[in-house]
Amino acid sequence: MLKDHQDAMGHAMLDYHKSGTGFEIIERDDGFFSVGMGPMAYFTKYTYWLPCEKAGIKFARGKVLDIGCGAGRHSLYLQNKGLDVTGIDASPLVVKVAQMRGLKKCHNISLTQLSSRLGIFDTILMLGNNSALFGNIKRGRWLLKRFYKMTSDDAIILAQNRDPYITAIAEHLEFHRQNKKQGKLAGEAKIRIRYFKYMTPWIDFLMLSPEEMKMLVKGTGWQVSKVIKDRDGLYIAIIEKTKNSK
């Protein structure tokens, strides 16, 4: 879990919840940085969701685990639909904000701490590009095998990501070239978030093409059954348990 001085997104979201203001600076470990969409993105109402999110959320069913729930926009939508939803986030303040907004079940748990002790789930949400938290191939496959043990036989994962190859930004293209020279995937990075004096630790972050997502899940007991594409390389992969692994 994050310490207070590391909880950049938590402080940004809490400020936005209280006053409607806040920002985020996203820094990559090669020195590249940009101003993100800010905490407002985590409060977006369904009307303004991306088309792929509106299409993907329809697949959610049963008992739902929302990984990196943020302010709870996806969790609250499903909770209001009558689903049993549990949100988790590594940020204590993010969890506080989600609870203040009405999310009934929300826990301050890091991704690698997840286990069946939290419950057995039918749907795992990794929306808001949170499947990038797979981090790298080795870690991603380890997490998928762990998810397998804490889900029902017909469980699904809704994994949102962004195809890193769909870009014309010179700094990204150069970063891809350097990654490939080092034997990494093009979209493999370390990032951290800054907000005023707060700064997160470095986070392993993995952007994948749909084809790379299929490669990642192979051999983990899961398979990509459908890909819902959106603009700018955004997509949601519907990931199901393989039939022969039951």
The DSSP string of the chain is: ---GGG-HHHHHHHHHHHHS----EEEETTS-EEE---GGGGG--GGGS-HHHHHHGGG--SEEEEET-TT-HHHHHHHHTT-EEEEEES-HHHHHHHHHTT-SSEEE--GGG--GGG--EEEEEETTTGGGGG-SHHHHHHHHHHHHHTEEEEEEEEEEEE-TTS---HHHHHHHHHHHHTT--TTEEEEEEEETTEEPPPEEEE---HHHHHHHHTTTTEEEEEEEE-GGGEEEEEEEE-GGG-
The ranges assigned to domains in the chain are: 4-245
Close Cβ partners of 18 (under 8 Å, ≥ 6 residues apart): none
Report the pLDDT value the prediction gives residue 244, as an integer from 0 to 100. Answer: 63
| Share of residues in the chain with pLDDT > 90 (%) | 96
Q: Which residues of the chain have pLDDT under 50?
A: 246
* Average pLDDT over all residues of the chain: 96
The C-alpha angle 161, 163, 164, rounded to 5 degrees, equals 115
Other CB atoms within 10 Å distance of the CB of residue 116: 11
Report the pLDDT value the prediction gives residue 246, as an integer from 0 to 100. Answer: 47
Close Cβ partners of 139 (under 8 Å, ≥ 6 residues apart): 204
Report the pLDDT value the prediction gives residue 165, as an integer from 0 to 100. Answer: 96
Q: Give per-residue pLDDT as tens, 204-233.
A: 999 999 999 999 999 999 999 999 999 999
pTM > 0.85: yes or no: yes
Report the pLDDT value the prediction gives residue 52, as an integer from 0 to 100. Answer: 97
What is the CATH T-level fold of the domain 4-245, as seen in this structure? Rossmann fold (3.40.50)
